[in-house]
Amino acid sequence: MRSPAPDHLPAALEPVRDRLLRSARADAEELLARADREAEALLDAARAQAAAILDDARRQGEADAAQGRTAELTRVRRTIRARELGVRRHAYEELRRRTTERVRDLRHTADYPAMRDRLHQRAKRLLGADAEVVEHPGGGFVAEAPGCRADCTLDAFAVRALDRLGAEAESLWAP
């Protein structure tokens, strides 16, 4: 069934209709105003939450970056230290090689026969008269007795001399 058209309504219903329309419009305006307020409140809350999330993310990013910088700095320091130790080891090995080379050159001096005799006597004295003493091709002697060995080679004396220098040897190449 259809409702009668508004121009057929009796004049007596006009004030009721106007009041209902005004009431409906007022309710609609109030509903819209409340919806606007709620929407604005939701937006404000969302903005505040977004700002808090951004602040947290920024702080976390800064903390992560600081941790990353610390880790990278530690890695770089370790790398530098490893390289420095490698250079020092290389310098020491080169010093050892040159020292051994120079000490071996003593075989070609006029003093070597006397030095050779002293090295032979030392090897015998260290392990006893029964020790087997063999001349080393690099100069000096190696003595052996049951359970014992004495290295009286020129190479061994050169290395022991460097070992006695200890950390003082590093002063040769330290700045």
Tokens, residue 90: 């290389």
- Give a yes or no: residue 25 inside a domain: yes
Q: Does the residue 118 lie in any domain? A: yes
Range of the domain at 17: 12-172
**107 domain residue, yes or no:** yes
Instruction: Assess whether pLDDT exceeds 70 at residue 154.
Output: yes
Tokens of 87: 């250079």
Which has the minimum average pLDDT: 15-19, 46-50, 149-153? 15-19
In a domain, 149, yes or no: yes
On whether residue 72 sits in a domain, the answer given is yes
| Residues 91-109, mean pLDDT to the nearest whole number | 92
Structure tokens at 3: 């409702």
In whole angstroms, give the CA distance from residue 138 to residue 119: 13
7 within domain boundaries: no
User: What average pLDDT does this structure show over 7-24?
Assistant: 78
Asked if the model's pLDDT at residue 115 lies above 90, the reply is yes
Cβ atoms of 155 and 100 within 8 Å: the answer is yes
Domain contains 4: no
Give yes or no for a contact between 170 and 153, defined as CB atoms under 8 angstroms apart: no
To which H or E segment does residue 53 belong?
helix 14-104
Which residue type, as a one-letter code, is found at position 69? R
Is the confidence at residue 175, as pLDDT, over 70?
A: no
Structurally, the chain folds into a number of domains equal to: 1
pLDDT in the model for residue 5: 55
Q: Give domain status of residue 154, yes or no.
A: yes
